[in-house]
Chain A
Amino acid sequence: MRVTEKMIFESSIAQTERSRESLSQAQNEVASGTRVEHPGDDPVAAALSVGHTVDKARFTAVGDSAQKAADELNAADTALDGITTVANRAQVIATQFGNDSYNATDRATAAVEVDGLFNESISLLNTTYGGRYIFGGFKDSSAPFDSSGAFVGDSNTRTVEVAPGLYQAASLDANAIVKGSGGGVDLLQTMADLSTALKTNDGVGIRAGIDKLNASIDQLAAGRAEAGMAQDAFQTAVTTAQTAASDETVKIGKLLDADILDASTRLASAQYALNATLTAAAKTLGMSLADKLP
Chain B
Amino acid sequence: MDLVGVIMNAGEGLGVYRAQVATTSHNIANANTPGYARQDAVPTETTPDEEVGINGYIGRGVALAGVVQARDQFVETQISVAFANSSSSSAQSDALSTVTALDPQGQGGITDALGKFYSSLRDLNQNPGDLGLRQAVVQSAQSVSRAFNLAGSSLASARSGIDQNVAELADKTNSLLTGVADLNRRISLAINSGRNPNDLLDVRQNDLDQLAQMIGAKPVPDDHGSVNVVLPSGTCLVSGIVASQLSVQANTQNRGHYDLVFTPPDGGKSTALNGNELGGQIGGIIAARDQTLGTAETNLDTLASDLSSAVNAQHELGYALDGTKGHDMFAPLTSVQGAATNLAVDPALLANPSLVAAAGSDTSGPGDSTNLQAIIATEDKQLTGGLNVQQGMAKLTSDYGIAVNMVDDSAAFDKNLLADLTNARESASGVSVDDELIHLTAAQTAYNALSKVITTTSTMLDTLMKLI
Contact = CB atoms under 8 A, between A and B. Distances in A.
Interface in B361-410: 364-369, 373, 376-377, 379-380, 390-391, 393-395, 397-398, 400-405, 407-408
Given A39-B400, A54-B111, A290-B437, A138 B380 contact: no
Interface string B92-117: 00001100101111000001101110
B76 interface: no
Contacts of B123: 61, 64-65
Nearest to A130: B127
Contacts of B359: 138
Interface residues of A, number: 65
Given A58-B115, A58-B119, A289-B438, A165 B105 contact: no
Contact of B401 (A47, A51, A55): A47
A167 interface: yes
Nearest to A62: B122
A170 to B, nearest CB: 7
Contact of A46 (B104, B114, B391, B435): B104
A49 B104 contact: yes
A226 interface: no
A4 B430 CA distance: 6
A288 interface: yes
Interface string B412-437: 00000001001100111011111101
A261 interface: no
A56 interface: yes
A68 B120 CA distance: 14
Given A58-B119, A62-B122, A2 B427 contact: yes
A4 B432 contact: yes
Contacts, number: 204
B122 A65 contact: yes
Given A40-B401, A58-B115, A138-B365, A160 B129 contact: no
A45 B119 CA distance: 24
A203 interface: no
A7 B404 contact: no
B117 to A, nearest CB: 9
A47 B398 contact: yes
Contact of B125 (A48, A130, A136, A160): A160
A61 B130 contact: no
A170 B430 contact: no
Interface residues of B, number: 66
Contact of A6 (B32, B122, B379, B397): B32
Nearest to A63: B122
Nearest to B368: A138
Nearest to B366: A141
A167 to B, nearest CB: 7
A37 B430 contact: no
Interface string A32-55: 001011111111111111110111
Contacts of B427: 1-4, 7
Among A38, A53, A55, A136, max chain B CB count under 10 A is at: A38
Interface stretch (A78-86, A91-99, A151-159, A264-272): A151-159
B94 to A, nearest CB: 12
Given A7-B427, A61-B123, A51 B390 contact: yes
Given A4-B430, A39-B104, A39-B404, A51 B129 contact: no
B456 interface: no
A159 B358 CA distance: 13
A204 interface: no
Nearest to A5: B433
A6 B430 contact: yes
B438 to A, nearest CB: 7
Given A136-B365, A158-B367, A158-B369, A58 B379 contact: yes
A138 B366 contact: yes
22 contacts: A3-B432, A4-B435, A6-B32, A6-B430, A43-B401, A53-B111, A54-B115, A54-B118, A54-B393, A57-B115, A57-B119, A69-B126, A130-B127, A130-B130, A131-B130, A132-B129, A138-B359, A138-B367, A141-B367, A158-B367, A158-B369, A161-B376
Given A47-B398, A50-B393, 17 more contacts: A2-B427, A2-B435, A4-B31, A6-B431, A7-B430, A14-B419, A37-B105, A40-B403, A50-B111, A50-B390, A137-B367, A141-B366, A141-B367, A154-B364, A158-B367, A159-B373, A256-B105
Nearest 5 Cβ contacts at the A-B interface:
A57-B115, A43-B401, A39-B401, A40-B404, A47-B398
